[in-house]
Copies of this chain bind each other. A is one copy, B any other.
């Protein structure tokens, strides 16, 4: 590794080590906390390693039309800000990143916020934001000569790891907790050739065992304790800043599960600011599910000084995490940027997901906490109508089709959950739910069934996405 360019700094005690000296479990030998990657050259304001803001912006823009394969990656296009490899020829890419930024005309209107956008990380190759972090960490694994990689995972992480391992020509191992997940969630890992082992243990048990294994065998650990994951995951911050012509939005709203994503995006914006590429950083808020809200509790009770694990319950499986690895980093990001941390109910999540669907944007349930959270923040009066807000959607709707089917067939939310919803939420639910109709195959019957719908549609025109300037 090019340890002249990067080093690891412990987030707990501040100890600094060379990248190659990290223990296999990526925990600090002094205090046991997580590391983050830092680049000493950048702090020398006039040093030769310090990137030039204007030149970088120009270079990254030029790369969009480059014929070089690596430039087609939305992560490695920004490789000057993640110099973690000796040779970028070792980069493993599936052309991740470059994800779309969608305006949300209907939610904008409903919430009275003009500039409301969704950055859809579910449009990555394996269908989740994990790809952006896997490309960076897998490249490190290959450069360091590993032939095996592994993670404990119940879903998106295993899919991303298996795909990038296959691309790299490495073997991959996924440890799955016993009886806690559907096989459907593992279909991608199997598809990409991972060896999947279901253990008679819970998630923490799997991770503990895997930590022991990587200390004894030459297997590279790719859970989110690996700090190189966050280096790739910070690049959507660069894409967002670039999309707004380097005038960053006022507010970024991120789902909170294991909290690596909010940590990484916060790091990305902080580095842009430190390097003089942007004049300020956005407020970053983290939204959790009510039944999996350890960070909400931590900030409310101890101002982020400690975190009490909870037993997690939510249908939004991607954020069903009671003991998040990166909570300390995420708490720092929220506090440093002036963001909020709050939780939302199962009904609020489901209805927000249907509202995003009505904008033509599918996402996995966990992603919809962002819109649900924004609605609450707006109701509390803490988000102004003239703010530019970006919701970070983290996974593709096809990650969990059963949730969508259950919602529309009225099999998802309990009566108690619906009863606890506000009248406005219930009205939105009644409007958006599309229960399938079963009809005789007779033209007049179908036409008749449609007539009322068509009349109603005529009376209440849907706000259309604004015309696209050409």
A contact set with B: CB distance below 8 Å = 61-62, 64-65, 67-70, 72, 88-95, 98, 100, 102, 105, 123, 125-127, 142, 147-148, 163-171, 173, 175-176, 178, 183-184, 186-188, 190-201, 205-206, 209, 212-213, 216-217, 245, 353-354, 357-362, 396-399, 401-402, 404-405, 408-409, 432, 434, 436-443, 446-447, 449-450, 453-454, 457-458, 461-465, 467-470
Contact = CB atoms under 8 A, between A and B. Distances in A.
Nearest to A467: B89
A197 B405 contact: no
B171 A465 contact: no
B64 A64 contact: yes
Contacts of A94: 100, 102, 360-361
A157 B88 CA distance: 40
Q: Which of A165, A187, A358, A408 has the most CB of B within 10 A?
A: A187
Contact of A434 (B62, B194, B409, B434): B194
Given A170-B462, A188-B362, A190-B434, 4 more contacts: A69-B468, A163-B362, A164-B360, A187-B398
A112 to B, nearest CB: 19
A216 B458 CA distance: 17
Contact of A443 (B209, B408, B439, B465): B209
Contact of A188 (B194, B398, B447): B398
A401 to B, nearest CB: 4
17 contacts: A61-B65, A65-B65, A89-B467, A90-B467, A91-B468, A98-B98, A105-B169, A166-B357, A167-B359, A168-B465, A184-B405, A187-B401, A197-B449, A201-B441, A206-B441, A209-B441, A217-B454
Nearest to A362: B191
Contacts of A404: 187-188, 190-191
Given A188-B401, A362-B163, A197 B436 contact: yes
B213 A171 contact: no
B198 A245 contact: no
A368 to B, nearest CB: 11
| Closest A-B pairs by Cβ, 8 of them | A169-B464, A167-B360, A187-B401, A201-B441, A398-B398, A166-B360, A64-B65, A95-B100
B468 A213 contact: no
Contacts of A432: 193
Contacts of A178: 441
Contacts of A440: 199-200
Contacts of A209: 441-443, 446
A25 to B, nearest CB: 13
Contacts of A212: 443
Contacts of A437: 195-198
A183 B90 CA distance: 43
B398 A68 contact: no
A457 B147 contact: yes
Contacts of A188: 362, 397-398, 401, 404
Nearest to A437: B197
B167 A465 contact: yes
Contact of A192 (B95, B357, B462, B465): B357
Nearest to A125: B123
A245 B450 CA distance: 50
Given A187-B397, A405-B184, A171 B436 contact: no
Contacts of A359: 166-167
A458 to B, nearest CB: 7
A191 to B, nearest CB: 4
A105 B93 CA distance: 14
Contacts of A195: 434, 437, 450, 453
A198 B434 CA distance: 13
Given A164-B360, A199-B441, A404-B191, A127 B396 contact: yes
Contacts of A105: 169
A37 to B, nearest CB: 20
A404 B190 CA distance: 7
A150 to B, nearest CB: 9
A450 B173 contact: yes
